[in-house]
Amino acid sequence: MGGAASTRKNSGSKYKAEEIEEQPIEPCNVKTKYQWTTADVIGSGSFATVYRAELIDQGRTTIDGTVIPRFVAIKVIDKSNLSSEDIPHLKEECEIMEQLSHPNCVRLFEHFDDETMLYLVLELAAGGELFDSIINKGHYSEIEAAHAVRQMALALAYLAEKKIVHRDVKPENLIYASNEPDAVIKLTDYGLAKNISAFDSDSPLNDACGTPGYVAPELLLEQPYGTKVDVWAMGVILYILLCGYPPFHDDTGNQSKLFRKIKNAQFEFHSPWWDNVSQAAKDLVRKLLTLDPSNRPTAAEVLLEPWVADPDAQSSADLGAHVIEGIKNVKNQRFKAAVNKLMALSIMNPNILKDLQRRNAEEIETQTTIEPKEENYDTPKNDKEISKEALDDKEINKDVGSIHRVW
């Protein structure tokens, strides 16, 4: 649940601030169930701190009978730093996470609430982020990339079956359960997730949110959307996994140009970077990054794709050191991307900048130790001019201002 600005359109949420009935909250007893110290911090931000904690009450179970493991992650949220709009969004996130019970989704076992703090008892995933694991590999091939895609697809197929749209699928939210070679990948951070089961349509959402570079074109085009936006994001990640740079980027850092490319699904398989990638892998990228969501496969269908389901379709040849180096470069762009996002928003509205700085601090503070680099992925320049959908300044500004985390 990273911090973010509070701007959002009607998204079909069942929660509204004025509908939350105020009830007295009793002091919680979380510290009689779990123990941790200030030395156990594994992450922190402006309004929340995450601890590695140990279960005191061995044999404790969730409401559905699942045995809670000995070691967990506890996220302690200071409610005094939350706005009146944040509380219902947080409640919705908790409600969604409490529905999840899948090997590829980080689980919320239980939560404790009192007047000032909220404690989320989460599954501990200690293996590190997806990109970190790849960077540390000595040999990296399509086999490893296909394994990651299969893990993502399993998580997203499960969410789609439960009518949940994640809306922020990106490498930072894909974490290995442990450091073991066969560890599973878990999808985390459900701060933007929506349950659409109450709607008749499969595409009932219309609010713009997410992370630039991973957002789907229908979201930018202000079209109704659903779970297929998560499949698009998986396609972006797969593209990076295979070549070491993103399918949609602008070397000058111009987000309006980035959004134009996404809107047109304008990407290429550049030579020589893609020359050694199998045709089956390229075919899957094309399918995942299909402009029309109705023609884009579901996550369940991705699991049936030959490149994902058949190991013989995956090349075992090393993709090359340049791919690992490129992935490292993409990972290190986070700080610069956050700064560019803040600058774009501040031009539009200084108040948005002030609010985003306060409530997006958790994400940005973790990035300040990363040295910004020039945004150059060493890909060939595309001399083709965009001849369609030439946006005027008003539309460009609208795009730049609307695509950011909303909670």
Task: State the catalytic residues.
Answer: 168
Q: Report the run of H or E that residue 357 belongs to, with start and end.
A: helix 350-359
Contact between residue 194 and residue 11 where contact means Cβ atoms under 8 Å apart: yes
Structure tokens at 93: 């996130």
Neighbours of 230 (CB within 10 A): 30
Query: CA–CA separation, 398 vs 400, rounded Å?
Result: 6
Q: Report the run of H or E that residue 53 belongs to, with start and end.
A: strand 48-55
Structure tokens at 222: 């202000």
Contact between residue 192 and residue 167 where contact means Cβ atoms under 8 Å apart: yes
Collect all residues with Cβ–Cβ distance below 8 Å to 182 and sequence separation of at least 6.
none
Whose tokens are 């922020």? That residue is: 168
Within 13 A of 269's CA, how many CA atoms are on the CB side?
16
Q: Which residue spans within 191-277 are E strands per DSSP?
A: 194-195
Within 13 A of 239's CA, how many CA atoms are on the CB side?
27
